[in-house]
């Protein structure tokens, strides 16, 4: 079997997992509410390049198009509009293509889910052609691409909450799952919004199960930088080529002409490959939004770098984790003991994940691991234990845990041996994972002389 990109597992796994959707109530109970530091986001500098006049929104209640969604927004406890939402939502509602850069945990998902679902509901009310039940191939009105299965599941959960009571019906498509089961759902249930990983979507398009040329009005790329790093460029190009075209010479060049698709890109960083993708994927003169310093670390996070010889790295890691656990005693609940705070430990390869996991498990720590070589059902089981707090320490590769939105992630540890620039870019992304509306800490365990990467720090914003 020839694998699609260098991050896929080296062994072939049986794709027989049948995904089970959580009840919306369970999704709501595990969601993150507006954190204490979101008020500080108002002080963050926002750079905007837009050839269209618009009014930034100050609250969810002031936008008429979001009226149908207000009760669902309250269910998720989204009380305050974040900077990326303040500017993105009005522009998307006006039909603009958009490139937005903001740190992980800044509300990017809400920035595109809210206006797209609102527009889908409005289009149905205008008696535009709806998708009929059982139509084949499946023709979604909106497609959201995410780099990992876990992020796709997470976005799908939020979309399901927001879409309740509207004409938008989200479904999730990702690898490692039973194809026949997915096809049966698409045929027997009504869906018009698709959240998918690029590889799985390409597979379904090639097999004639999904068609994007006629009905697809919205394509959203979430974590565009990570998708390119993971080797999905060819898949993204294929999806764009097989979707409803855009004609940049039509209309004003930045607003959505009738019958064309609207394309949105969101990213935590803005390297040259992402810039090039935006240039070819979006209409000319599309608005650009950068919240804070592009590619900067989350400033709400306390960041620590520790140089440790390779032979002592595991011992130092054990020392830190024991300290975390001592400050995070278990709480007895009807479902057993849980920990409110959680720790993510990033290492570079699946082999290292297994080695570190075995070392910590031998030390009697409540630890689990996640990497690309385990089945999808096992991945979801592990992630559920971590989210619930029954297993408060998760060892993972960066790809396996990218973009996860989990209540109570208090500390992220990263082990580094790779090239400095590549690692620092990855570190910036990891730091965001613990800063979703709350304070947190990020520790880097480094086994080379610090002089090797000091010169590279100047290109990033650090506290």
Residue 434: CATH number of its domain: 3.40.50.300
Q: Report how far residue 217's alpha carbon sits from residue 243's, in angstroms, rounded to the nearest whole number.
A: 9
Same domain, 208 and 274: yes
Of 256, 291, 326, the domain-final residue: 291
pLDDT band at 77 (very low <50, low <70, confident <90, very high): confident
pLDDT surpasses 50 at 105 = yes
Same domain, 148 and 30: yes
Q: Give the range among 160-169, 354-363, 415-424 with minimum mean pLDDT.
A: 415-424
The whole domain housing 305 covers 301-459
Residue owning tokens 């460029």: 233
pLDDT reported for residue 433: 47
pLDDT reported for residue 9: 40
On whether residue 17 sits in a domain, the answer given is no
Same domain, 341 and 238: no
- Of 265, 150, 145, 156, residue with least CA distance to 201: 145
pLDDT reported for residue 23: 60
Same domain, 286 and 358: no
Q: What are phi and psi of 397, to 5 degrees?
A: -75, 160
Of 291, 326, 350, the domain-final residue: 291
Same domain, 67 and 139: yes
On whether residue 8 sits in a domain, the answer given is no
Same domain, 114 and 231: yes
On whether residue 440 sits in a domain, the answer given is yes
Task: For the beta carbon of residue 52, count every other beta carbon within 10 angstroms.
Answer: 16
What does the mean pLDDT of the chain come to? Answer: 78
pLDDT band at 366 (very low <50, low <70, confident <90, very high): very high
Task: For the beta carbon of residue 350, count every other beta carbon within 10 angstroms.
Answer: 21
The residue with greater pLDDT, 257 or 322, is 322
**Mean of the pLDDT values across residues 106-115?**
93
Of 271, 291, 311, the domain-final residue: 291
C-alpha distances out from residue 338 to 391, 393, 408, Å? 7, 12, 12
Q: Report how far residue 34's alpha carbon sits from residue 31's, in angstroms, rounded to the nearest whole number.
A: 10
Q: 85-99, 233-247, 309-323: which has the highest mean pLDDT?
A: 85-99
On whether residue 16 sits in a domain, the answer given is no
pLDDT reported for residue 415: 72
pLDDT surpasses 60 at 263 = yes
- Of 224, 219, 175, residue with least CA distance to 200: 175
pLDDT band at 421 (very low <50, low <70, confident <90, very high): very low
Same domain, 308 and 284: no
pLDDT band at 242 (very low <50, low <70, confident <90, very high): very high
pLDDT band at 346 (very low <50, low <70, confident <90, very high): confident
Residue owning tokens 């090039």: 276
On whether residue 19 sits in a domain, the answer given is no
Same domain, 318 and 269: no
Q: 84-93, 372-381, 390-399: which has the highest mean pLDDT?
A: 84-93
Maximum separation of any 2 CA atoms in the chain, in Å: 67
On whether residue 11 sits in a domain, the answer given is no
pLDDT-above-90 percentage for the chain: 36
pLDDT reported for residue 360: 93
Same domain, 247 and 363: no
Q: 212-221, 250-259, 379-388: which has the highest mean pLDDT?
A: 212-221
| List of residues 6+ apart from 281 with CB closer than 8 A | 221, 236, 240, 263, 265
Q: Report how far residue 154's alpha carbon sits from residue 170's, in angstroms, rounded to the nearest whole number.
A: 12
Please tell me the pTM assigned to this model.
Answer: 0.76
On whether residue 334 sits in a domain, the answer given is yes
**Mean of the pLDDT values across residues 339-362?**
88
Same domain, 127 and 265: yes
On whether residue 9 sits in a domain, the answer given is no
pLDDT-above-70 percentage for the chain: 69
Burial category of 420 from C-beta neighbours within 10 Å (exposed 0-12, middle 13-18, buried 19 and up):
middle
pLDDT tens digits, residue range 122-147?
Answer: 887 655 454 555 568 899 999 999 99
Same domain, 72 and 168: yes
Q: What are phi and psi of 134, to 5 degrees?
A: 85, 0
pLDDT tens digits, residue range 3-54?
Answer: 445 444 433 444 555 556 666 666 555 554 444 455 566 677 889 998 889 9
Same domain, 235 and 333: no
Count of domains in the chain? 2
């Amino acid at each position: 079997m020839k694998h699609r990109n260098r991050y896929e597992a080296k062994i072939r796994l049986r794709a027989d997992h049948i995904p089970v959707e959580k009840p919306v109530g369970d999704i709501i109970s595990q969601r993150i509410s507006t954190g204490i530091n979101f008020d500080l986001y108002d002080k963050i500098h926002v750079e905007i390049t837009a050839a269209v006049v618009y009014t930034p929104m100050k609250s969810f209640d002031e936008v008429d198009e979001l009226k149908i969604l207000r009760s669902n927004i309250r269910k998720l406890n989204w009380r305050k509009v974040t900077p990326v939402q303040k500017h993105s939502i009005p522009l998307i509602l006006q039909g603009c293509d958009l490139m937005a850069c903001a740190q992980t945990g800044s509300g990017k998902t809400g920035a595109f889910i809210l206006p797209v679902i609102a527009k889908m509901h409005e289009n149905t009310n205008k008696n535009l052609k709806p998708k009929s039940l059982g139509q084949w191939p499946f023709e979604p009105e909106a497609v959201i691409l995410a780099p990992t299965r876990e992020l796709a599941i997470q976005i799908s959960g939020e979309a399901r909450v927001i879409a309740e009571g509207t004409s938008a019906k989200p479904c999730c498509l990702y690898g490692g799952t039973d194809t026949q089961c997915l096809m049966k759902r698409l045929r027997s249930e009504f869906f018009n919004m698709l959240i998918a990983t690029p590889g799985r979507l390409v597979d379904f398009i090639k097999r004639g199960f999904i068609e994007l040329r006629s009905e697809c009005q919205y394509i959203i790329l979430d974590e565009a930088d990570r998708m390119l790093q993971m080797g999905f460029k060819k898949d993204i190009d294929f999806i764009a080529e097989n979707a409803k075209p855009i004609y940049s010479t039509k209309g004003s060049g930045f607003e959505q002409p009738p019958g064309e698709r609207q394309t949105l890109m969101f990213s935590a960083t803005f390297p040259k490959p992402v810039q090039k993708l935006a240039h070819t994927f979006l209409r000319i003169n599309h608005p650009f939004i950068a919240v804070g310093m592009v590619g900067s670390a989350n400033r709400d996070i306390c960041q620590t770098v520790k140089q440790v010889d390779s032979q002592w790295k595991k011992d130092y890691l054990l020392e830190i984790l024991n300290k975390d656990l001592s400050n995070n005693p278990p709480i007895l609940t009807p479902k057993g003991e849980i920990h409110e705070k959680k720790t993510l430990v990033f290492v570079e390869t699946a082999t290292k994940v297994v080695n570190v996991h075995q070392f910590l498990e031998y030390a009697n720590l409540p630890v689990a691991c996640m990497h690309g070589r385990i089945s999808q059902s096992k991945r979801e089981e592990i992630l559920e234990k971590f989210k619930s707090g029954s297993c408060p320490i998760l060892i993972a590769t960066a790809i396996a845990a990218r973009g996860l939105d989990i209540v109570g992630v208090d500390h992220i540890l990263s082990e580094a041996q790779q090239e400095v620039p590549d690692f620092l870019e990855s570190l910036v992304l990891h730091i965001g994972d613990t800063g979703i509306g709350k304070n947190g800490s990020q520790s880097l365990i480094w086994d080379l002389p610090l002089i090797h990467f000091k010169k590279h720090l100047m290109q990033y914003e650090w506290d």
